[in-house]
A = this chain, B = another copy of it.
Amino acid sequence: MNLIDAKELARTLDAQDVLAPMRAKFDIPADLIYFDGNSLGPVTLRSREVLHHTIDVEWRERLIRSWNEDWLAMPMRVGNMIAPIIGTAQDTVISCDNTSINLHKALMAAVALRPGRTEIVIDVNNFPTDIYIAQSVADQHGLTLVAVQADEIVGVISERTAVVTATHVDYRTAQILDAPAITAAAHHHGALMVWDLAHTAGAVPFDATALDTDFAVGCGYKYLNGGPGAPAFIYVAPRLLAESSQPLQGWWAHAAPFDFELGFRPAEGISRFLTGTSTVLSMKSLEAALEIFSEVSMVDIRVKSMSLTGFFVDLFDAHLASRGFTLESPRDPESRGSHVALGFASGKALVDQMSAQGVIADFRPPDLMRFGCAPLYNSHVDVVRLVERLIAP
């Protein structure tokens, strides 16, 4: 398929795209082609509007009164907007802190629920912060961190395993891990499961309830478009909540924060996984961006994501494989998340050169280029333009 035919096909696919109207909700500069939503989602019109209101009315005019009028309820409110995106019930997810901190809380809670066990199992290809955090929890408890390839996880889980943690969609390759098999293996051996949904939430369906996962954490600034450093989230299975505790038990995790009791009494619900004061501005932006997800279905998102990445893989086969690029993402669309990774020896220089021309992708050492295909705002025509630039930057 030559690129002229490809663009024709792209226009046809875009015309049939039920999510196409969502693009107008984002404010992406007209001269930019953006394929880095797996790192930082673009600003929505609604986030800008809400932020201005937060600054000019809630902060400026209402000042301290806004805590009671709006802000105190926000972590739970935002959690409840994320809940359907990751397949959980209401009041089981809460927005707070960053992903690293939430993973720490989940792992510490999990390890405390499995005393006497001696190992934490982790995907060795996990995003490094997950490994650093898991190593710290292991060190604190004198446990061994067992870091193995994703397809070896099921095999190493045993009665020694306290908790298993992995990222559902690999941050480099976009490989979707076998969540049902890994979760079942953990549970079969009496271990707990913590899924990191950083590259899942908002792009790939996840059904935490059907999986019966014990904990999940995830990120607010990638496919959820919450803005740079938007708060993360944490989910705890309701069946575990009453017996779960976490070490960062600040006043927001208390059953009655404004009673100022001397002794810590954890909140009954998921807010026991809060720490201290939430970052209002950053969370407001996330809350506003999440409104889009009430208008779309995760099925439509998945269909479009597979169409975009599949189209890109087709164009890779036709135009890029012969030019020194290698496909580092799964060819099987069922196993592929919402970005495509290509190996390329001078990938860093190419990403920089393309960026100067307004085509934004990202790069992970040593030679991996990543192209996030965000179903809410990327089009098939965008994909053709991207490939044009990869061929002739």
Question: Which A residues lie at the B interface, using CB under 8 A?
Answer: 27-29, 32, 34, 36, 39-40, 42-43, 47-48, 51-52, 55-56, 58-61, 63-67, 71, 97-101, 104, 124, 127-129, 131-133, 135-137, 140, 147, 221, 227-232, 247-254, 258-264, 275-283, 285, 355, 360, 362, 364-365
Contacts and interface: CB of A to CB of B under 8 A. Distances in A.
B104 A228 contact: no
A130 to B, nearest CB: 9
A34 to B, nearest CB: 6
Contact of A228 (B133, B262, B281, B285): B281
Contact of A59 (B228, B253, B281): B228
A131 B365 contact: no
A262 B131 CA distance: 7
Contacts of A98: 97, 250, 275-279
In the A-B complex, the 8 residue pairs with the smallest Cβ-Cβ separation, listed nearest first, are: A100-B250, A100-B276, A228-B280, A98-B276, A129-B251, A279-B282, A132-B264, A229-B279
B43 A59 contact: yes
Contact of A250 (B101, B275, B360, B362): B101
Contacts of A253: 132
Contact of A140 (B58, B104, B140): B140
Contacts of A232: 276
Most B C-beta atoms less than 10 A away, residue of A58, A99, A231, A262? A262
19 contacts: A28-B60, A32-B63, A36-B64, A39-B64, A40-B59, A48-B55, A59-B227, A65-B355, A71-B228, A101-B101, A101-B276, A128-B251, A128-B261, A133-B249, A147-B262, A229-B283, A232-B276, A260-B365, A279-B282
A229 to B, nearest CB: 4
Contacts of A261: 128
A101 B248 contact: yes
Given A27-B60, A97-B275, 15 more contacts: A40-B63, A51-B51, A64-B362, A67-B228, A71-B229, A97-B97, A100-B252, A101-B276, A129-B251, A132-B264, A135-B264, A136-B247, A229-B282, A229-B283, A260-B364
A259 B132 contact: no
Nearest to A28: B60
Contacts of A355: 65
A275 B229 CA distance: 12
Contacts of A248: 100-101, 104, 133, 136
Given A34-B63, A64-B360, A132-B254, A259 B228 contact: no
A278 B98 CA distance: 8
B133 A250 contact: yes
Nearest to A132: B264
Contacts of A282: 229, 279-282
A324 to B, nearest CB: 23
Nearest to A65: B355
Given A66-B228, A247-B104, A128 B51 contact: no
A12 B201 CA distance: 60
A98 B283 CA distance: 14
A227 B48 CA distance: 17
Contacts of A281: 51, 227-229, 279, 281-282, 285
A29 B61 contact: yes
Given A281-B282, A281-B285, A282-B279, A97 B101 contact: yes
Contacts of A227: 55, 59, 280-281
B360 A280 contact: no
Contacts of A276: 98-101, 129, 232
B63 A360 contact: yes
Contacts of A60: 27-29, 42-43, 48
